[in-house]
């Protein structure tokens, strides 16, 4: 937290109580002696009363950050960022940190005098004697039964299609759900789209391209009711479908071909994952299988080397994403990578922001910090191969996996390669010459206009253009040679993940700091989405179990989130507009029964995207026009 954040709750927000400090709050302590009591009453209590109790006592009108400082046990309570006071330990006592104005600043309005700070330091060193009675407040445990009443955490049920007054209008159950809500609000559907509009809509939605004049004319010549279904089926079977809908998915999983951040290194083999996604959509791979392959494809059985390679490439999803290759601290880099993997899997597949619990309990959803690190243990037990070399100042080298027949092995990428045309030294020389030529050109343009000067300007401009072209060529060659070339020795090079040699549970990181370790937590999943106790992960990373848990019909989020994304790409607005956030801060569904109907149709249809797309596009709702009807003004007032 920045020092510029001065509210009194800056520290308190980082001390949200989670559990009693074992061996501190729970252990018996010797009673303070007379001198210690006198010191506390003269030097410590008055300061707490004057500067802290207003926001951090049982009588506070608004309790700052759930932190109490008016009892001994409360003051020593463990929290999301550690302990406010650890007897005898100045470094671990965040109260000392705050009144010193180091990472935090308390009191916020003005710093305490140095003599008062010294008194608190002395108090902690002597064991923080404190005669104040009172039990430490225990943060209520999440009431899972109550939390599961939230709409998106409830089991998916197949609702009965509603009865509608205009019984001859709907073509399928999708129409009935939409029409029922319109009728309930005194609204009527608009007119159907004209055929020319409809054919253009279908082509754009399924292929991303408008129809050619010939394709549009073919559709317009067929007035039969089956014309739409036939066109939809033909385009679903076209290779352009996978390119269009694969792009939608690539956006969801933050596909990019470089690391971004301060040093933007390329991912030379990211395209393999891109092609895997396109092929998966064209083959209508069941979405539950698609999910599982991307999270744990390397752990699935296979019938051939080709299938094994495809499943391995699928895990490239976890190797993508932004990476701060300038990071000096290896553990910080790895925990940032883990955080990114938790974030993409929880949002892409379940529409929930689990990564918000890295530093503290999720502020809005029933996800504890411990549950975050249960997931973190899964990915911390996973090796990620992303393929950026260590050249050019990259401090976090990323290897690749080499696949050669049955053999899969890590290989160092990008080491020792040079650009064509002389390498780094030649490239530097060209850049130096270009800078000199640009400087000379600037000086010439300031001189008087004469034939000699104009001739020199023309010559120098040509030189600048030649050198700029040479720099561009060298940059392109460097990109091409950044990773090792594939050959019969290296085999197929891929971005992917594998289980680490020694998978293990990991510790809670205090305040989210990679090197500030707390208690070890077992690997596992989010309890609010888990019925009963999940068996412990005793071997392997746990990625396969995690993938299967997300892809289960019992998970209330996965099918809803997927169906909602399909609706978004066909209508331009989702049933749940916050497509990546089905939690408390997300938006409510406009048609919850319709969403559950679509989710059940997706699962019952073997998780087929094409089948659900076909159902939606052949509905009358999809084929409506966009022109306003005669009662448009009233309709806009009722449904703005």
Alpha-carbon span 352 to 356, nearest angstrom: 9
Q: Which two tokens stand for residue 328?
A: 């000096």
Same-domain pairing of 468 and 512: no
Place of tokens 């927000």: 13
Domain end among 536, 551, 566? 551
List all residues 6 or more positions away from 184 whose beta carbon is below 8 Å from its beta carbon: none
Q: Are residues 352 and 445 in the same domain?
A: no
Q: What is the average pLDDT value for the chain, to the nearest integer?
A: 84
Q: Does the residue 149 lie in any domain?
A: no
Chosen domain end from 64, 96, 125: 125
| DSSP 8-state symbol, 554 | T
Pairing of strands 517-521, 506-509: antiparallel
pLDDT of residue 12: 40
Write down the pLDDT at residue 11. 38
Interatomic CA distance for residues 487 and 268, integer angstroms: 15
Q: Which residue has the tokens 């252990």?
A: 27
Chain Cα centroid distance, residue 403: 29
Ramachandran assignment for 457, one of left (phi > 0), alpha (psi -120 to 50 degrees), beta (any other): alpha
393 DSSP assignment: T
Q: Per the domain annotation, does 1 fall within a domain?
A: no
Task: Supply the pTM of this predicted model.
Answer: 0.71
Three-state secondary-structure class, residue 84: coil
Contact status, residue 523 vs residue 426, Cβ threshold 8 Å: no
Count how many Cα atoms sit within 13 Å of the Cα of residue 443 in the half-sphere of its side chain. 8
Domain identity same for 377 and 437: no
User: Residue 528 gets which letter from DSSP?
Assistant: G
Residue 25 lies in a domain: yes
Q: How far apart are CA 383 and CA 13, in angstroms?
A: 33
Within-domain flag for 157: no
On whether both 389 and 524 belong to a single domain, the answer is yes
User: What is the count of structural domains for the chain?
Assistant: 4
Q: Are residues 211 and 310 in the same domain?
A: no
Judgement on whether residues 385 and 439 belong to the same structural domain of the protein: no
Burial class (CB in 10 A: 0-12, 13-18, 19+), 488: exposed
Q: Which two tokens stand for residue 61?
A: 């009108």
Q: What is the distance between the alpha carbons of residues 58 and 53, in angstroms, rounded to a whole number?
A: 8
Q: Does 596 lie in the same domain as 545? A: no
DSSP 435-471: HHHHHHHHHHHTS---HHHHHHHHHHHHHHHHHHHHH
pLDDT score at 81: 64
Q: Please tell me the predicted confidence (pLDDT) of residue 112.
A: 86
Q: In which domain, by residue range, is 614 found?
A: 173-237+554-638
Tokens 């040699």 belong to 501
Supply the pLDDT for residue 420: 37
477 with 332, same domain: the answer is: no
Judgement on whether residues 73 and 198 belong to the same structural domain of the protein: no
What's the half-sphere exposure (Cβ side, CA atoms, 13 Å) at 408?
A: 18
In angstroms, the first-to-last Cα distance of the chain is 40
With respect to residue 150, please indicate whether it lies within any of the assigned structural domains.
Answer: no
What is the pLDDT, as a whole number, of residue 393? 59
Q: What is the 3-state secondary structure (H, E, C) of 219-275?
A: HHCCCCCCHHHHHHHHHHCCHHHHHHHHHHHHHHCCCCCECCCCCCCECCCHHHHHH
What is the predicted pLDDT for the residue at 425?
Answer: 55
Q: What are the tens digits of pLDDT across the range 49-104? A: 778 777 777 776 666 666 777 788 887 775 556 678 889 888 888 888 888 887 77
Q: Hey, how many other C-beta atoms are within 10 angstroms of the C-beta on 233?
A: 14
Q: Which of 230, 56, 54, 32 is nearest to 128 (CA)?
A: 32
Contact 302, 343 (CB under 8 A): no
User: What six digits make up the tokens of 474?
Assistant: 């060298």
Low-confidence ranges of the chain (pLDDT < 70): 1-29, 34-35, 37-38, 42, 60-66, 78-82, 134-140, 389-397, 413-429, 448, 451-452, 472-490, 640
With H, G, I as helix, E, B as strand and everything else as coil, classify residue 285: coil
One domain, residues 205 and 91 = no
Classify 583 as helix, strand or coil: coil
User: Does any domain span residue 290?
Assistant: yes
CA distances from 98 to 92, 103, 121, 147, 213 (A): 11, 7, 12, 34, 70
Where is the domain boundary, 62, 90, 125? 125
Pair (286, 379) in one structural domain: yes
DSSP per-residue string spanning 147-213: HTTSGGGSPP--PPPPP-S-TTS-SSHHHHHHHHHHHHTT----PBPPHHHHHHHHHHHHHSSPPPH
Q: Is residue 151 part of a domain?
A: no
**Residue whose C-alpha is closest to residue 19's, from 370, 377, 534:** 370
Residue 158 resides in a domain: no
Q: pLDDT tens for residues 17-64?
A: 333 333 334 445 677 776 686 677 757 887 887 787 777 777 766 666
* Cα–Cα distance, 288 to 603 (Å, whole number): 9
450 and 324 in a common domain:
no
What is the rounded distance in angstroms from the CA atom of residue 369 to the CA atom of residue 510? 10
Distance between CA atoms of residues 66 and 601, nearest Å: 44
214, 231 Cβ separation under 8 angstroms? no
């Amino acid at each position: 937290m920045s020092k510029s954040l001065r509210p009194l709750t800056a520290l308190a927000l980082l001390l949200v109580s989670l559990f009693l400090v074992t061996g501190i709050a729970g252990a018996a302590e010797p009673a303070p002696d007379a001198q210690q009591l006198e010191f506390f009453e003269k030097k410590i209590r008055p300061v707490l009363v004057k500067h802290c109790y207003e926001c951090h006592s049982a009588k506070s009108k608004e309790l700052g950050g759930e932190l109490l400082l008016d009892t001994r046990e409360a003051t020593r309570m463990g929290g999301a960022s550690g302990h406010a006071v650890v007897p005898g330990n100045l470094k671990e006592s965040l109260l000392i940190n705050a009144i010193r104005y180091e990472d935090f600043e308390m009191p916020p309005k003005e710093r305490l005098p140095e003599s008062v700070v010294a008194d608190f330091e002395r108090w902690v060193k002597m064991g923080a004697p404190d005669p104040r009675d009172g039990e430490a407040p225990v943060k209520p445990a999440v009431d899972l039964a109550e939390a599961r009443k939230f709409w998106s955490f409830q089991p998916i049920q197949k609702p009965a299609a509603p009865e509608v007054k205009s019984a001859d209008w709907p073509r399928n159950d999708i129409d009935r759900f939409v029409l029922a809500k319109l009728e309930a609000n005194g609204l009527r559907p608009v007119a159907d789209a004209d055929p020319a509009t409809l054919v253009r809509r279908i082509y754009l939605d399924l292929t991303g391209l408008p129809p050619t004049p010939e394709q549009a004319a073919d559709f317009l010549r067929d007035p039969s009711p089956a014309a739409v279904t036939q066109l939809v089926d033909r385009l679903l079977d076209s290779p352009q479908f996978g390119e269009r809908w694969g792009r939608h998915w690539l956006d969801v999983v933050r596909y990019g071909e470089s690391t971004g951040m301060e040093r933007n290194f390329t991912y030379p083999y990211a395209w393999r994952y891109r092609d895997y996604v396109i092929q998966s959509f064209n083959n209508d791979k069941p979405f539950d299988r698609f999910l599982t392959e991307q999270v744990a494809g390397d752990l699935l059985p296979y019938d051939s080397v080709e299938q094994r390679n495809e499943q391995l490439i699928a895990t490239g999803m976890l190797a993508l994403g932004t990476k701060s290759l300038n990071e000096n601290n290896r553990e910080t880099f790895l925990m940032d990578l883990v955080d990114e993997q938790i974030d993409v899997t929880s949002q892409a597949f379940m529409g929930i922001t689990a990564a918000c619990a890295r530093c503290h309990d999720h502020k809005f959803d029933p996800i504890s910090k411990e549950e975050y690190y249960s997931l973190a243990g899964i990915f911390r037990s996973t090796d990620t191969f992303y393929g950026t070399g260590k050249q050019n100042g990259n401090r976090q080298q990323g290897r690749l996996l080499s696949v050669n027949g049955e053999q899969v092995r890590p290989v160092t990428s990008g080491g020792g390669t040079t650009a064509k045309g002389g390498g780094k030294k030649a490239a530097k020389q060209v850049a130096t010459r270009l800078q000199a030529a640009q400087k000379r050109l600037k000086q010439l343009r300031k001189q008087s206009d004469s034939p000699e000067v104009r001739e020199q300007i023309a010559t120098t401009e040509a030189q600048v253009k030649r050198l700029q072209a040479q720099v561009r060529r060298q940059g392109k060659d460097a990109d091409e040679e950044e990773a090792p070339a594939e050959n019969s020795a290296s085999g197929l090079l891929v971005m992917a993940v594998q289980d680490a040699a020694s998978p293990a549970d990991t510790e809670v990181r205090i305040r989210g700091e990679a090197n500030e370790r707390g208690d070890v937590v077992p690997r596992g999943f989010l309890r609010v989405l888990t019925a009963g106790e999940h068996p412990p992960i005793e071997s392997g990373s746990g990625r396969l179990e995690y993938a299967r848990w997300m892809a289960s019909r019992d998970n209330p989020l996965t099918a809803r989130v997927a169906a909602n994304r399909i609706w978004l790409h066909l209508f331009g607005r989702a049933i749940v507009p916050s497509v990546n956030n089905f939690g408390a801060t997300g938006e409510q569904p406009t048609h919850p029964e319709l969403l559950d109907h679509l989710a059940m149709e997706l699962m019952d249809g073997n998780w087929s995207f094409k089948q659900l797309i076909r159902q939606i596009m052949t509905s009358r709702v999809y084929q409506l026009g966009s022109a306003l009807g005669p009662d448009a003004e009233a309709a806009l007032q009722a449904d703005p």
